[in-house]
A and B are shown apart, each in its own frame.
Chain A
Amino acid sequence: MKLKKILNDQRVVLTLLTIGLFIFFGLRNSAFFNVDFVIYPLLRDGATLTVIGLAQLCVLSIGHLNLAVGRMAAVSALVAGASYQYWGLTLVQGAILGVLAGALLGAITGWIIVKSQVNAFIVTLAMDFALLGLVTFIYVTFTGATAAFTTKPAGMDYWRSKSLKDFCVAGICGPKSIPMMLLPAIICLILVSFMFSRTRLGRELLSTGSNLRAAKLSGIPVENRVMTAHIFSGTLAGIGGLMLAYANGSFTAAIGSQVMLPSFLGPVLGGTLLAGGAVAVLGTFIGTMMTLVIRQGLSVQGIGLETLNIALGLVLLLALSVGQIQKMFTSIKLRGKK
């Protein structure tokens, strides 16, 4: 009975599926167990996409979408990159400025949604277009032929290339497979998880997403909560944008241009409802890792581009259906007992 209960938890099923896929790909080709070229980069990319997934999760919690999540990441990277290049700020100072820019964009987006009463889908789509133009204009105008901010503050390469192996306490060092980049993602996971599970603010966000009218009648300042969710989303998108820039090596207009769909994939695979009211914070990490394991697993098998995307789509469809299949079996069994 206990085992059945455990297996009904989507996060457990996803974790087992991810581990199963990891072992499957490794058995098919032992190169998949390579730390330097598979596990380390997988976790580093997974860390970045998890933070961006959390940015999406924050607005999903109130039943909204943030289609500008990638572009908010791009603006944060732009602000940080400009601060390093023109004002000589340190890594941390520039990062704080970049994250604040993301938070500001989130606040503006939330404010427009609240004041205009226009659907978040439309507002964030419009925001995405506007920011795309702004980011391109700034890079072309201020950086000329380079089209990027290339100044690297001290410590930037550390986050890209170092692992817990370089982090030693009393002569004991961590594993080489865990990138330093995973640490900010873990901190974000803990903070977001704490907020949704342990604070009144988190519960109010979920209530707003679950039933706006009921939340309003219960005295929850829903308009305020909409703003809050979008500020959190912009802030996390900003952190994700900085992680992307640090991982790749420079600050370009392309940062965040490919993260919009993955930002939904992680949370939704993990169990977050698109309609709002329920979030899966740890599930976001597991869902993100599963998609990356499938992609890199197929890539290491030497599968070509078309086959890779077909296989990726099929496996994801299967994974997304796991919950539905479980429910189907449960209802069949219950009917049988009746």
Chain B
Amino acid sequence: MKKSLLAAVAAVALLLSGCSSSGDSAGSADGFGAIKVALVPGGAHPYFQPWKDGGAAAVSEFGIGGTAFNETGEWDQTKHNAAIDAMAAQGYNAFGVFGVSPTDINTTFKGLKDKGFAVGSLASCPGGYDIVKEPQKNSADFCLSTDTGKAAYLAATAVIKEMGGKGNLVHLTGNAVDANTIRRMDGVKQAIAETGGKVKLLTTITDIDSDLQSATKAVTDLLAAKGKQINGIVTTAYNPAVAATDGVSSTKLPIKVIAIDDDQKILDAIKSGVISGTVVQNPWGQGYVGSWVLAALGSKKCTMNTPGLYVDSGSFLVTKDNVDTYNDTRQATSKDILKAFQTEYMTCK
């Protein structure tokens, strides 16, 4: 019995030692057509869906070999690395990645770079240092992401204005131990500090972006317990934004809300006046610009002037006034960012 078991194990060992790398094609391509861009978010989330359209637009416009979207990371860095490896095994040779863990993802980027791939950090930059001051610590070629602190500040300033510059504000956000969340919290605190004490941060509720159900429960509990004390809600994560919109709509409390992102429910609530506005990010632009930059780097057509450079992908305040036109503004901004890469951030042959 034991002999047979050992034989089976030996067979696996033989198979493993006999296997060889199929090799990668990074660097061998001489044009965009040879570049296949893998867009790999940390897991499934509505925020990343526009990456597909952005990537597809870049493929048809610039003749990139193709883009593929893989959301099987399930918000676990180990599974996320496995998803990236699966794409590399399939021949993808340029990677636009949202790291699950900002402090771990640099290690993943380094591994990809060591194998000769072009790598972009999309929608989030590696954590553990100030990327603006020390871009050389970013192991990816560049980072194209929302300035989360700035976006949160923009949202908080807008809701404080709607509140008449005074009252109690609540901040709803995501994972408390995520560096981006901490930047968002700092952005909101900065806006509140500028009111000179007229606005008070009633509470900050974290860890409610994993799913809509958790966010809805948190908002329902909040409004039931403190609804009458709250003058404004600022949300800096997707699920709490949808939940806050629903909550304020159903309770009809006179609370001013600035949401985040552009879920249809949020846009409808802005049009009907239930909430004051939303701060939209630019995932389409991340997919579109990111794919071009990765193709340009992968094909050796261009090189980064500052490796690891951080570029803000933009955040836009949407209110009743511009709810029908903001997407045009966002796409125009994406083209401007692309132009800045082509003329300012990169040197191209």
Q: Which residues of A contact B (CB under 8 A)?
A: 5-6, 9, 11-12, 15-16, 18-19, 22-23, 29-39, 41, 43, 45, 48, 136, 139-140, 144-148, 150, 157, 160-161, 175-178, 244, 247-250, 252-254, 257-258, 282, 295-296, 299-300, 302, 304-305, 308
Cα of A244 to Cα of B100 in the assembled complex, Å: 14
B5 A248 Cβ-Cβ under 8 A = no
Q: Which 8 A-B pairs have the closest CB atoms?
A: A249-B107, A148-B103, A250-B103, A37-B89, A147-B177, A15-B8, A299-B86, A31-B89
With both chains docked as a complex, state the minimum distance between the C-beta of A331 and any C-beta of chain B, in angstroms. 21
Cα of A249 to Cα of B103 in the assembled complex, Å: 7
Cα of A215 to Cα of B43 in the assembled complex, Å: 48
Could you count the A-B residue pairs with CB atoms below 8 Å apart for me: how many are there? 158
Output the residue of A45, A175, A249 with the most chain B CB within 10 A: A249
Q: Which residues of B contact A (CB under 8 A)?
A: 1, 4-5, 8-9, 11-12, 15-17, 19-22, 24, 44, 68, 70-72, 74, 76-79, 81-83, 85-86, 88-91, 100-108, 111, 115, 127-128, 176-179, 182-183, 186
> A145 and B177 in contact (CB under 8 A), knowing A9-B4, A300-B90?
no
With both chains docked as a complex, state the minimum distance between the C-beta of B94 and any C-beta of chain A, in angstroms. 15
Q: What residues of B have a CB within 8 angstroms of the CB of A150 in the complex?
A: 103, 128
> A144 and B182 in contact (CB under 8 A), knowing A15-B12, A31-B91?
yes
Interface of A is mostly: helix
Q: What residues of B have a CB within 8 angstroms of the CB of A161 in the complex?
A: 111
Closest B residue by C-beta to A13: B8
Closest B residue by C-beta to A6: B4
Q: What residues of A have a CB within 8 angstroms of the CB of B83 in the complex?
A: 299
With both chains docked as a complex, state the minimum distance between the C-beta of A129 and any C-beta of chain B, in angstroms. 13
Q: What residues of A have a CB within 8 angstroms of the CB of B22 in the complex?
A: 30-31, 33-34
Closest A residue by C-beta to B90: A31
Q: What residues of A have a CB within 8 angstroms of the CB of B128 in the complex?
A: 146, 148, 150, 250
Cα of A81 to Cα of B104 in the assembled complex, Å: 13
With both chains docked as a complex, state the minimum distance between the C-beta of B257 and any C-beta of chain A, in angstroms. 26
> A175 and B82 in contact (CB under 8 A), knowing A150-B103, A252-B104, A254-B177?
no
B101 A38 Cβ-Cβ under 8 A = no
Closest A residue by C-beta to B183: A145
Q: What residues of B have a CB within 8 angstroms of the CB of A295 in the complex?
A: 82
A175 B16 Cβ-Cβ under 8 A = yes
A147 B71 Cβ-Cβ under 8 A = no
With both chains docked as a complex, state the minimum distance between the C-beta of A280 and any C-beta of chain B, in angstroms. 11
A305 B11 Cβ-Cβ under 8 A = no
With both chains docked as a complex, state the minimum distance between the C-beta of A332 and any C-beta of chain B, in angstroms. 23
With both chains docked as a complex, state the minimum distance between the C-beta of B276 and any C-beta of chain A, in angstroms. 28
Cα of A48 to Cα of B79 in the assembled complex, Å: 13
Q: What residues of B have a CB within 8 angstroms of the CB of A178 in the complex?
A: 16-17
Cα of A139 to Cα of B175 in the assembled complex, Å: 13
Output the residue of B71, B111, B128, B186 with the most chain A CB within 10 A: B128
Cα of A30 to Cα of B22 in the assembled complex, Å: 8
B44 A37 Cβ-Cβ under 8 A = no
With both chains docked as a complex, state the minimum distance between the C-beta of A48 and any C-beta of chain B, in angstroms. 8
Cα of A41 to Cα of B86 in the assembled complex, Å: 10
Q: What residues of B have a CB within 8 angstroms of the CB of A244 in the complex?
A: 78
Cα of A5 to Cα of B5 in the assembled complex, Å: 12
B19 A39 Cβ-Cβ under 8 A = yes
Q: What residues of A have a CB within 8 angstroms of the CB of B71 in the complex?
A: 304-305
Cα of A5 to Cα of B71 in the assembled complex, Å: 44
- CB-defined A-B contacts under 8 Å, sample of 28: A9-B1, A9-B5, A12-B5, A15-B12, A19-B12, A23-B15, A33-B20, A36-B88, A38-B85, A39-B19, A48-B78, A145-B127, A147-B176, A160-B107, A177-B19, A247-B78, A248-B107, A249-B105, A249-B106, A249-B108, A250-B103, A250-B104, A250-B128, A296-B82, A299-B72, A299-B86, A302-B90, A305-B71
Q: What residues of B have a CB within 8 angstroms of the CB of A282 in the complex?
A: 5
Cα of A250 to Cα of B108 in the assembled complex, Å: 11
With both chains docked as a complex, state the minimum distance between the C-beta of B202 and any C-beta of chain A, in angstroms. 20
Cα of A41 to Cα of B82 in the assembled complex, Å: 7
> A15 and B101 in contact (CB under 8 A), knowing A45-B82, A140-B176, A177-B19?
no
A19 B21 Cβ-Cβ under 8 A = no
Q: Which of A36, A145, A254, A300 contacts B179 (CB 8 A)?
A: A145
Q: Which of B4, B68, B91, B103 contacts A252 (CB 8 A)?
A: B103
